[in-house]
Amino acid sequence: MKVGFISLGCPKNLVDSEVMMGQLVARGHELTPHPDQADVLVVNTCSFIDPAKKESVDTILEMAEYKKIGRAKKLIVAGCLVERYRGDIRTELPEVDALIGTNELESIVAVCEGLEPDTNPLEPYLYHDLTPRVLSTPHHFAYMKIAEGCDHPCTFCVIPQYRGAFRSRRFESVISEATRLFQHGIREINLIGQDTTCYGEDFGLPDGLADLLARLAQIETPIEKWIRFLYAYPNKVTQRLLDTIAQHAALAKYIDMPLQHASAGVLKRMKRGASGEIFLKLIERIRRTIPGVAIRTSFIVGFPGETAADFEELCQFVGAARFDNLGVFAYSDEDTSASYALDGKVDGRTIQNRKRRLMAIQRKIARARNRALVGSEVPVLVGGLSAETDLLWESRMATQAPEIDGVALINDFEGSEPRPGEIRRLRITEAHDYDVVGTLLAPTEAAPPPAASAFINISPLVAV
């Protein structure tokens, strides 16, 4: 049968979708990006905050229409929304034919085929290197989950409720999958998990992530490769980890470290701990150890009890830290989070005003950082034609993570025309708030072969 997938939310959700697609392909089913041609439609949902829940429900209802106007006979809803609202979906969305939770990914084939699944929704699930998986990202980069679940008690977060306790993938399983990805032409691997810096702790490895990164960097590839990890917990960033990133050229000089706030009082109510002063010392140590490192973070504004003074402290902290990339989230009062019971709720208008002001501060910082790059030459990973116009190509520096940071636009090139997956040098000629523009220099390596299909099967169990 033909199966269409819609994956919402974070890259961790996307990997879950790729695992489910891999199971179906291994069984002989066909994937289609066209919902009107699908026999079965699967919506893998997100429910982290209210806007994500709304997007998930809207998408479910949109896909349900294809049961009327298309060939679809079945609509399956998977992911985080199922874990939080399984009963509500069954009663309020009769258009949905089956549900798959985050620990039931292996039941996708049985559910699509109308058979009885034999998975246990209460048994923690984590895929491994022998799990069939189909990539849906562009041919030159991929995400790879190295852990699942979380043990941190952050009061604003509901992830542990439906992702379970923290658990790491086996060391050699990660190495095996990464090796296969590189063999299939992937140039950049992005390691993900709820907290990648806890990797290996459940195995008794004190510096598991540092050990893993060092081993990944040593995988032999015929052409240059990039490896980065996302979602670092600040008190888990060790000197050993920083030294490892600095030591290996293949490791992107990039730290994604969500700090959430700078006020010690707010951080205490979040059950995060630390303070802006402690964070500034850590940031200074990171930059001293890794020359040229880019630091990305994210903050929550409007957390219960956040006063005007707390917010001012956050603004001053952002001005002092001068992050390369920054995201700001408006606090979402989730009914199953611990913060839901806290007093001192901040009104919506104040939250939005604070979000706009903090982003305005960061915009000036980002613009100044980008202007300082004008005239320099940097390696970039070529993506493809810009989504905005066919007159520009899009690429990324190693200091820009896919899908969340700015991009490096190409408005001219020397030598051969750009090809997706190439790593070439870019001479930066213009700077904007979040993006830079430049001339792509002549290639110094052979161009990679073009991708043959939108879906890339990296399963060891199915022929490519």
The average confidence (pLDDT) of the chain is 93
Confidence of residue 387 (pLDDT cuts 50, 70, 90): confident
* In-domain check, residue 15: yes
* DSSP string covering 384-411: EE-SS-TT-EEEEETTS-TTTS--EEEE
Does 202 share its domain with 229?
yes
Beta strands in 184-277 (DSSP E): 188-192, 226-229, 254-256
Does 235 share its domain with 104?
no
Instruction: Report the pLDDT value the prediction gives residue 50, as an integer from 0 to 100.
Output: 82
* In-domain check, residue 178: yes
Beta bridge partners of 412: 439
Query: Does pLDDT of 452 surpass 90?
Result: no
Helices (H), 218-327: 239-247, 264-269, 276-289, 308-321
Between the alpha carbon of residue 198 and those of residues 103, 165, 195, 244, 420, the distances in Å are 21, 12, 6, 16, 33
Give the torsion through C-alpha atoms of 320, 10, 173, 383, to 10 deg.
Answer: -80
Query: Does pLDDT of 454 surpass 80?
Result: no
Does 34 share its domain with 154?
no
Residue 27's domain is classified under what CATH number? 3.40.50.12160
Between the alpha carbon of residue 281 and those of residues 229, 286, 288, 419, the distances in Å are 22, 9, 11, 41
Residue 110, CB half-sphere, CA atoms under 13 Å: how many?
11
Using the 3D structure, point to which of 371, 399, 425 is the last residue of a domain. Answer: 371
Instruction: Tell me the per-residue pLDDT of 272-300, one tens digit each, with 9 for 90 and over.
Output: 999 999 999 999 999 999 999 999 999 99
Does 173 share its domain with 99?
no
Gyration radius (Cα) of the chain, Å: 22
Does 155 share its domain with 230?
yes
Give the torsion through C-alpha atoms of 307, 310, 311, 315, to 10 deg.
Answer: 170
Residue 342: give the domain boundaries: 134-371
Indicate the burial class of 315 (C-beta count within 10 angstroms; 0-12, 13-18, 19 or more): middle
Query: Does pLDDT of 32 surpass 60?
Result: yes
Residue 331, CB half-sphere, CA atoms under 13 Å: how many?
29
Number of domains in the chain: 2
Which helix (H) or strand (E) segment holds residue 380: the answer is: strand 377-385
Which among 208, 247, 242, 249 is positioned nearest to 227, based on CA atoms? 249
Query: 405 with 141: CB under 8 angstroms?
Result: no
Which helix (H) or strand (E) segment holds residue 419: the answer is: none
Instruction: Report the pLDDT value the prediction gives residue 364, as an integer from 0 to 100.
Output: 97
Residue 8, phi-psi category: left (phi > 0), alpha (psi -120 to 50), beta (remainder):
beta
Instruction: Report the pLDDT value the prediction gives residue 461, as an integer from 0 to 100.
Output: 42
Instruction: Report the pLDDT value the prediction gives residue 456, as an integer from 0 to 100.
Output: 63
Does 336 share its domain with 232?
yes
Using the 3D structure, point to which of 66, 89, 120 is the last residue of a domain. Answer: 120
Query: Does pLDDT of 459 surpass 70?
Result: no
The count of other CB atoms within 10 Å of the CB of residue 72 is 23
The count of other CB atoms within 10 Å of the CB of residue 155 is 17
Query: Does pLDDT of 223 surpass 90?
Result: no
Residue 401, CB half-sphere, CA atoms under 13 Å: how many?
27
Does 171 share its domain with 293?
yes
Between the alpha carbon of residue 393 and those of residues 123, 413, 452, the distances in Å are 45, 10, 20
Instruction: Tell me the per-residue pLDDT of 397-416, one tens digit each, with 9 for 90 and over.
Output: 999 999 999 999 999 999 99
Mean pLDDT, to the nearest integer, of 70-98? Answer: 93
Does 162 share its domain with 226?
yes
Instruction: Report the pLDDT value the prediction gives residue 463, as an integer from 0 to 100.
Output: 31
Query: Does pLDDT of 115 surpass 50?
Result: yes
Does 113 share its domain with 192?
no
Q: Can you tell me the distance from the alpha carbon of 150 to that of 9, in angstroms, rounded to the nearest whole number?
A: 17
Instruction: Report the pLDDT value the prediction gives residue 118, as an integer from 0 to 100.
Output: 76
* In-domain check, residue 246: yes
Query: 219 with 177: CB under 8 angstroms?
Result: no
Instruction: Report the pLDDT value the prediction gives residue 116, as an integer from 0 to 100.
Output: 83
Taking 3-state DSSP, the helix, strand and coil percentages for the chain, each rounded to the nearest 5, stand at 35, 20, 45
* In-domain check, residue 419: no
Does 56 share its domain with 8?
yes
Instruction: Tell me the per-residue pLDDT of 321-332, one tens digit each, with 9 for 90 and over.
Output: 999 999 999 999
Does 157 share its domain with 289?
yes
Q: Can you tell me the distance from the alpha carbon of 107 to that of 117, in angstroms, rounded to the nearest whole number?
A: 5
Using the 3D structure, point to which of 371, 390, 413 is the last residue of a domain. Answer: 371
Strands 147-148 and 167-168: antiparallel
Q: Can you tell me the distance from the alpha carbon of 459 to that of 183, in angstroms, rounded to the nearest whole number?
A: 12
Query: Does pLDDT of 453 surpass 50?
Result: no
* DSSP string covering 80-115: HHHHHHHHHHHHH-TT--EEE-TT-GGGHHHHHHTP
Query: Does pLDDT of 450 surpass 80?
Result: no
* In-domain check, residue 386: no
Count each helix (H run) and each strand (E run) in the chain, helices first.
13, 20
* In-domain check, residue 440: no
In the numeric block, the tokens 């699944």 are attached to 117
Residue 415, phi-psi category: left (phi > 0), alpha (psi -120 to 50), beta (remainder):
left
* In-domain check, residue 429: no
Instruction: Report the pLDDT value the prediction gives residue 108, as an integer from 0 to 100.
Output: 97
* In-domain check, residue 435: no
Query: Which SS3 state, helix, strand or coil, does residue 164 take?
Result: coil
Instruction: Tell me the per-residue pLDDT of 346-383, one tens digit each, with 9 for 90 and over.
Output: 999 999 999 999 999 999 999 999 999 999 999 999 99
Query: 198 with 191: CB under 8 angstroms?
Result: no
Q: Can you tell me the distance from the alpha carbon of 185 to that of 307, in angstroms, rounded to the nearest whole number?
A: 50
Between the alpha carbon of residue 361 and those of residues 37, 137, 279, 334, 432, the distances in Å are 47, 32, 18, 28, 15
Does 113 share its domain with 138?
no
Residue 159's domain is classified under what CATH number? 3.80.30.20
Instruction: Report the pLDDT value the prediction gives residue 411, as an integer from 0 to 100.
Output: 96
